[in-house]
Amino acid sequence: MELRPILSTLRRHKTTAWLLILEIALTCAIVCNAVFLIGQRLQRMDLPSGIAEHELVQIQLGHVGKNVDAKAQTEADLAALRQIAGVRQVAVANQLPFSFGSDSNGSLMLDPRQQQKTAQVAEFMGGPGLLPTLGAQLVAGRDFQPGEYVDFDAAVQALHDGDARGLPQEIILTRGLAKRLWPGQDALGKTVYFGNNLPFRVIGVVASLARPKQLEQGVQYSTVLPISMTAADGSSYILRTSPQERGAVLKAAVAKLKQLDPNRVVLVKRTYDAARREYFADDRAMAGILVGVIVALLTVTALGIVGLASFWVGQRRRTIGVRRALGATRGDILRYFQTENFLLASFGIALGMVLAYGLNLFLMLHYELPRLPGIYLPVGALVLWGIGQLAVLGPALRASNVPPVVATRSV
């Protein structure tokens, strides 16, 4: 295909050609960045939590003040919940990965003389059976033994008295946190400090356990402490069952708890999947909006191409007729308009890539986004070339159907 005649025609329609190029360029820039943003959101929504997500349900009760028998009550509740058909394991937990609600965090240090914390970590607590119930996978060391657990109240009292002996001595970390604290070394047996004076010895490492909130502090920077909590401390009952039985188990568990004490208020009852969905709802919504924007943008650009191409075809009917009369085939005419569009799109894409890069720099500056990976540019280019060809097909076909006889008619 000879390019020269196309270029010389375009030179005669500079303004319209430039408008189209500019439109394609802006679309390319926005679409590249929007697709990148969607990728970021999907990645976030896809973060591994390290627990058996589809098998867990959570129930949180409201309590007022301190019941003397909170511990006994919790034990009774747990025993009753274990009786429910379909329940495999039950435990108490103060928090879950990726979920709203209260959460515990602490400043972890490697040296008691340190002034600045090494990492801000999430503190999972609950009681015996927490890790197996959650389905967190131990990859080194061991779980806590029954004798190592300390009651939450006793731990608070020990803190109050400044008596470190009343506090637990052991801790379990995630692999991610262990790698951050001691790169390339074995974490087992090492000591970490909470604040300046509370030492804990690492006895186990779990493969993964994501923190509830504050993901920017390190998604996997979580610890597990052998502290037994009761439902009165604001903790939840976590029940593990099979994915199919979750709904029935949740209903039965709530009924059972209300039957044990009708005056209790259920604050939270949900499957873990629902909790996680709620946590990432904003990201899902944003990804949805971005998809909408991309579709709308491509549609508008395609319509613009259709409109301009139709106009050009109409304007050049005579020229097309003359060319046909001089021996050009329908295919020649079709290819002429397709090549013209390809050229315009290419100019637009080239300009669009520069714009996309600039837009990304702006977003990096204002929204703490990472750099746009190079792969998005060729993908964006392919999409726009495709859209351009699709949009021009109709008008180009109409052009190829112009009969040669048009050449002989005066307009």
Partner 1 sequence: MFGYYLDLALRSLKRHRVLTGLMVLSLALGIGACITTTTVLRLLSGDPLPQKSDRLFYAQVDPNAKEGYIAGQTEPPATMTYVDAMFLLHAHRAKRQAAVALTSGKIAPQRANERPFYSDGVQTTADFFGLFDAPFEYGSGWTAADDEGGSRVIVIAGFLNQKLFGGANSVGKTIRMNDHDFRIVGVLKPWSPQPRFYALDLGGHDYGGDGDAMFLPLKTAMDLKMGPQDIECYNAVTDVDNLAAAPCMWLGMWVELPDQAAVADYRTFLANYAKQQVAQGRFSRDETALLDLMGWLRDQQVVPDDVRLQAGLAYGFLLICVLNTVGLLLAKCLRRSREIGVRRALGATRGAIFGQFMVEAGIVGLVGGLLGLGFAELGLFGIRHQPAEYASLAHLDLSMFLFTFVVALVASLIAGLLPAWRACAVAPAPQLKAS
Q: Which residues bind partner 1 (CB under 8 A)?
A: 15-16, 19-20, 22-23, 26-27, 30, 34, 37, 62, 64-65, 115-116, 156, 159-160, 162, 195-197, 263, 265, 267, 278, 281-282, 285-286, 289-290, 293, 296-297, 299-301, 303-304, 306-308, 310-312, 314-315, 363, 367, 410-411
Return the sign of the alpha-carbon dihedral for residues 37, 38, 41, 42: negative
Query: In residues, how long is the chain?
Result: 411
> Rounded to whole angstroms, how far apart are CA atoms 298 and 138?
49
172 closest CA partner among 212, 125, 217, 113:
125
CB of 306 to partner 1, least distance (A): 7
CA distances (Å), 164 to each of 1, 150, 154, in order? 84, 12, 11
CB of 22 to partner 1, least distance (A): 6
CB of 379 to partner 1, least distance (A): 19
Rounded to 5°, the CA angle 230-232-233 comes to 75
CB of 94 to partner 1, least distance (A): 15
> Rounded to whole angstroms, how far apart are CA atoms 274 and 262?
26
CB of 53 to partner 1, least distance (A): 19
CB of 378 to partner 1, least distance (A): 21
Nearer to partner 1, 124 or 312 (CB): 312
CB of 160 to partner 1, least distance (A): 5
Which pair of structure tokens corresponds to residue 344? 């315009």
Nearer to partner 1, 51 or 297 (CB): 297
155 closest CA partner among 133, 127, 131:
127
Q: Which residues, in sequence order, are bridge partners of residue 126?
A: 228
CB of 308 to partner 1, least distance (A): 5
Say which residues have a Cβ less than 8 Å from residue 158's Cβ, sequence separation at least 6.
150, 164, 165, 166, 167
Nearer to partner 1, 163 or 186 (CB): 163
β-strands 119-126, 170-174: how paired? unpaired
Nearer to partner 1, 307 or 403 (CB): 307
Nearer to partner 1, 106 or 176 (CB): 106
Nearer to partner 1, 272 or 312 (CB): 312
225 closest CA partner among 126, 96, 78:
126
Nearer to partner 1, 205 or 298 (CB): 298
CB of 86 to partner 1, least distance (A): 27
Nearer to partner 1, 240 or 398 (CB): 398
228 closest CA partner among 339, 101, 334, 70:
70
Q: What is the largest CA-CA distance in the chain?
A: 106
Nearer to partner 1, 34 or 396 (CB): 34
Q: Give me Rg for the CA atoms of the chain.
A: 32
Nearer to partner 1, 186 or 261 (CB): 261
93 closest CA partner among 136, 57, 139, 124:
124
CB of 278 to partner 1, least distance (A): 7
> Rounded to whole angstroms, how far apart are CA atoms 128 and 50?
18
> Rounded to whole angstroms, how far apart are CA atoms 96 and 103?
8
Residue pointed to by tokens 């290819």: 335
